Amino acid sequence: MSVAPDKPAPASAPNSVGAHDTQAAPSEEARSSPCVHCGFCLPACPTYDLLGTEMDSPRGRLHLMDALESGRAQPTPTLLGHLDSCLGCRACESACPSGVAYGERLETTRALTVHAPRAEGTTSPWLRRALLFGASAPAWVVHAGVVVTAAAQRWLPGLTRGIAKRMGPGAEAGLELLARRRPRRARLPSHAKPDHTPKRRVALLLGCLHRPLSASLHEATQRLLLRAGCEVIVPPRQGCCGALARHLGELDNARARVAALMDDLAAVGRLDHLVVNAAGCGASLREAAALWPADHPRHAEALSLGERSVDALELLDELGLPPARRAVPRRVALHHACHLVHAQGVRDAPERLLASIPGLQLQALADADRCCGSAGVYNLLQPELATTLREQKVQACRESGAELVAAANPGCQLQIEAGLAAAGLGLGSTHPLELLDEAHRD
Amino acid sequence: MPRAPSPALTACLDALRTQLGAAAVHDDADSILVYESDGSRLHDAVPEAVVFPRSAAQVAQVVRACVRHGVPYVGRGAGTGLSGGAMAHDGGVVVALNRMNKVLRFDAAERRIRVEPGVRNLDVTRHVAPHGLYYAPDPSSQAACTIGGNVAHNSGGPHTLKDGVTVNHLLGVQVVTPQGEIVEVGGDERPGYDLLALLAGSEGTLGLVTAAELKLLRTRESVRTLLVAYPSVEHACEAVSAIIGSGLLPCALELLDVEVVDALTAAFGLEFPDGAGALLLIETDGPLAGMKTEAKRIEAVCKEHGALSVRLAADDAERAQLWKARKQAFGALGRIARHYSTQDGVIPRTRLPEMLRHVREIAARHELRVANVFHAGDGNLHPCLLYDDESADTTARVVAAGQEILARCLELGGTLSGEHGVGIEKREAMAQLFDATALEVFTNLRAAFDPTGLCNPGKVLPLGRGCGEVLAAGKQVSS
């Protein structure tokens, strides 16, 4: 497991080597990072905050996962409901003094229970099935699905709304989000070099869902990397990072995707970094090695991928940018994306970069590192809780006095944007990279 | 596994579902399983149900239903307790008060705040800090633990050395008595018995706190925090006695031994001085004018007693980092062991070095590792016995070692608990601390509050003769 430098390493027991016993069992590392029940995770957990029940807290969920493993509890729909209510935001990991690898525990437990029946009335079984299909389909199918749904929504709004309504509030929430973006192909040179000797040779990950939805973000990222002195390759063949499949518990599929991605990257030659601009994808890639047992040939390769995967903001912060070309006189609040701040331990880089933009005024945002409810596909699977979190985030944004909210994950950005629009506030949302790009563009 | 629900329990829960709503009553297997433990794992007990009242009126309804049907009940806040005080050992109902988490009233000019029991300790300070105020009792779990639990345990913390414990900051409480009445206790000076002092530290055996009125202090004008390294725990202990003996009064004086330092290094990546066998974390506060001299005097005493190095926290960020490490030390022990059990004995400060030798000897004899992090200024020890498996043999050794440590504290003129409470863990040892007459007074006092014996039964008092009568009384009501 690769961790960011400013995040302390997870605990490991004297005898552990971080190896998996079987592919579906938690690694020794996850198993041996003991929860000592101190309860420090409770105030950090958004679902415990909302529901007030320990079954829906990190300590309670770990207790339930232990009970599942030891056979004291069965994977009943009620129990799985408590695991499904988890955002996977991993704020508990930032709060945990004991270094419990909660995310890994949750992932492996979800993998063992992915097809077990869920309680009725929680998530639409249709939507869950559709997402599971998406997680196991080739990346181009996901890509095409997004484009076709967006087109259908534009040209056949009545029909798409009708279908979504039958699939439940999660699907409707999904459409609401999709309506905010017009998918298009990013205009990216497949190979771009700076004028001088490149400081690093990097590849840019485009993702699956975000390939068509974040075209302008990808273009901004490439320009910034070039400006920071990187040789930037956009591998023509590249699929999905497997994060969505992992969140749902489809580990076989996640393995296939990461393996394919590693093969695609191998084709472009030596790389210093795989640069990611979506925190969710970045977190998953950094932990890619956890997908394979230590003696598996893919393990070492995934370890190396994890070490080289880096969030664009972290890399730009490390390399530094030449002085900005123009001021961006805006009041900006920074929302810390969970998968950047909690899963990757990157907290200061985005703030430092935004503070470096002339004219930009950073506004304090209350609970900036609390999940906005997006959490991968959580906003589709648990629309009720996700919407409450979104409303809390919108309230904090409103109180911050900002005119623009920046989030380093396209999912958060979309979620917050939809929330701001629903509240009728005149606030916009953006990615910190797009603000930086605005300051650095020709 | 849970036993089959009794008809009395079923009737009780049915009544509560009607009164509180079905969503506030959980008796499914998964819910009760999660509520089998709190901050320690040695005292697990699966309750029969968990209920979530939202107001004092609802708490009263819960208590009345339990009394009517003869069902035992126990209050719970965040479940961070370390003596099994919030465990339902006699079955029955856990009354989870964490959803009652509103600030009811705040008067900055009067420097007082009234909160519901589920408000977290640290959130009180967060709420009042913009007005230049803070709430002084600061248990290490303050980010998670609740005011209700603090009142029940009369909680302290590192800064109680100077500021005192919860009862010193408590202006009044609202409590639901074991008869189900809502009563206000405390308030303005009144003659008669000081029930407020009695309720603070009663560990939820005399009623359930549904609101607490707290005294607030003005934010400290200036603070100096020093981290002092010593070659051994003995050296550090001598320095502690010397500091107090010299007339200096730091607001906190914490000792961390090398095992704890290892855990903290792993958890927070902090750099501690090489070769240190023990660290003292010393903090002093007061008016800005005298601060520099005060810190210098402390430093001088530390050096006279063999300090390897003295580091003064350069700024607020460094001080916050040091305190974060200290306050999360128990949790960080997970880095060096799968489980730990901590004791809470108190001894005269001058006997600290001697007691720590005993602790090491007892742990070694039971083949257990031990880590020490504690409030040295108060002589309040927290030896943490570390263990890696939950086998019956291991837990028996942990329990036995813990009891020996406490027995030794008593021999050295100390007492059983500084702040973690007696709970279920130390109830039998109470018979070593108090004679039969004193225990009978306690028992009668408790029975006066709780004639049915259903309010957190089996805690605090030994299950000897006296307490048995209370339990028997409860059983008669239920039959």
DSSP A112-172: HHTTSPPPTTTS-HHHHHHHHHHHHS-HHHHHHHHHHHHHHHHH-HHHHHHHHHHH-HHHH
ipTM of the complex in this document: 0.92
- Domain end, chosen from B331, B348, B374, is at B331
Confidence of residue A121 (pLDDT cuts 50, 70, 90): low
User: In CATH terms, are A28-113 and A191-317 the same topology?
Assistant: no
* Contact (CB<8Å) B96/A98: no
CB atoms within 10 A of CB B123: 19
Residue of A nearest to B28 (CA): A78
Q: Where are the alpha helices (DSSP H) in A325-409?
A: 338-341, 348-355, 378-381, 383-400
CATH label of the domain that carries residue B384: 3.30.70.2740
- Domain end, chosen from B365, B396, B411, is at B411
User: CB contact, 8 Å: A42 with chain B?
Assistant: yes
* Contact (CB<8Å) A8/B267: yes
**Residues on chain B touching A97 (C-beta within 8 angstroms):** 267, 328-332, 334
Domain membership flag for residue B364:
yes
pLDDT of A48 higher than 50: yes
Cα–Cα distance for residue pair B341/B328, rounded to 1 Å: 15
Residue A45 to residues A42, A52, A56, A240, B33, Cα–Cα distance (Å): 5, 10, 9, 29, 20
Cα–Cα distance for residue pair B232/B230, rounded to 1 Å: 5
Cα–Cα distance for residue pair B337/B341, rounded to 1 Å: 11
3-state secondary structure of A391: helix
Domain membership flag for residue B321:
yes
Closest residue by Cα to residue B308 from B333, B338, B279, B334: B279
B220, with CB counted inside 10 A (0-12, 13-18, 19+), is middle
User: CB contact, 8 Å: A147 with chain B?
Assistant: no
Query: Could you say which of A34, A43, A79 has the minimum Cβ distance to residue B334?
Result: A34
- Please tell me the predicted confidence (pLDDT) of residue B473: 40
- Please tell me the predicted confidence (pLDDT) of residue A210: 85
* Together in a domain, B253 and B237: yes
User: CB contact, 8 Å: A97 with chain B?
Assistant: yes
* Together in a domain, B229 and B173: no
Closest residue by Cα to residue A52 from B50, B309, B113, B449: B50
- Domain end, chosen from B171, B203, B218, is at B218
CA distance A74 to chain B (A): 9
Residue of B nearest to A31 (CA): B338
A56-69 tens-digit pLDDT:
999 999 999 999 99
* Contact (CB<8Å) B30/A78: yes
Domain membership flag for residue B251:
yes
A385-431 tens-digit pLDDT:
999 999 999 999 999 999 999 999 999 999 999 999 999 988 999 99
Closest residue by Cα to residue A112 from A33, A22, A45, A240: A22
**Residues on chain B touching A52 (C-beta within 8 angstroms):** 52, 96, 98-99
- Please tell me the predicted confidence (pLDDT) of residue B276: 87
Query: Could you say which of A8, A37, A76 has the minimum Cβ distance to residue B41?
Result: A37
User: CB contact, 8 Å: A144 with chain B?
Assistant: no
CATH label of the domain that carries residue B214: 3.30.465.10
Q: Which CATH superfamily is domain A28-113 in?
A: Alpha-helical ferredoxin (1.10.1060.10)
- Please tell me the predicted confidence (pLDDT) of residue A33: 56
* Contact (CB<8Å) B334/A42: no
A118, with CB counted inside 10 A (0-12, 13-18, 19+), is middle
Cα–Cα distance for residue pair A175/A164, rounded to 1 Å: 8
Query: Could you say which of A11, A38, A76 has the minimum Cβ distance to residue B330?
Result: A38
Beta bridge partners of B115: B103, B212
- The architecture that CATH gives domain A191-317 is 3-Layer(aba) Sandwich (3.40)
* Contact (CB<8Å) B34/A99: no
A153-168 tens-digit pLDDT:
888 888 888 888 877 7
User: CB contact, 8 Å: A194 with chain B?
Assistant: no
Task: Report the residue of B27, B33, B119 to disrupt the A interface, i.e. the one with the largest count of A CBs within 10 Å.
Answer: B33
User: CB contact, 8 Å: A76 with chain B?
Assistant: yes
> Which tokens belong to A261?
């991605």
- Please tell me the predicted confidence (pLDDT) of residue B3: 56
Residue of A nearest to B145 (CA): A39
**A-B contacts at Cβ under 8 angstroms:** 116
**Residues on chain A touching B338 (C-beta within 8 angstroms):** 13, 32, 34, 36
Q: What are phi and psi of A309, to 5 degrees?
A: -70, 135
CB B311 within 8 A of CB B249: no
- Please tell me the predicted confidence (pLDDT) of residue A149: 84
User: How many folded domains does chain B comprise?
Assistant: 5
Spans of all domains in chain A? 28-113, 125-178, 191-317, 324-440
User: CB contact, 8 Å: A9 with chain B?
Assistant: yes
Q: Which residues of B touch A (CB under 8 A)?
A: 1, 26, 28-31, 33-41, 52, 78-80, 96, 98-99, 120, 122, 141, 143-145, 266-269, 328-335, 337-340, 388
Enclosing domain of residue B89: 7-96
* Together in a domain, B109 and B188: yes
Domain membership flag for residue B2:
no
* Contact (CB<8Å) B26/A60: no
CB B262 within 8 A of CB B242: no
* Together in a domain, B40 and B117: no
What is the average pLDDT score of chain A? 89
* Contact (CB<8Å) A54/B145: no
| Extended beta strands in A277-344, E state | 309-311, 331-335
pLDDT of A180 higher than 90: no
* Together in a domain, B17 and B76: yes
- Please tell me the predicted confidence (pLDDT) of residue B125: 97
CA distance A44 to chain B (A): 9
CATH topology assigned to domain A324-440: Rossmann fold (3.40.50)
User: CB contact, 8 Å: A116 with chain B?
Assistant: no
**Residues on chain A touching B120 (C-beta within 8 angstroms):** 43
CB A65 within 8 A of CB A101: no
* Contact (CB<8Å) B332/A98: yes
User: CB contact, 8 Å: A73 with chain B?
Assistant: yes
* Contact (CB<8Å) A72/B28: no
User: CB contact, 8 Å: A55 with chain B?
Assistant: yes
Low-confidence residues of chain B: pLDDT under 70? 1-3, 464-479
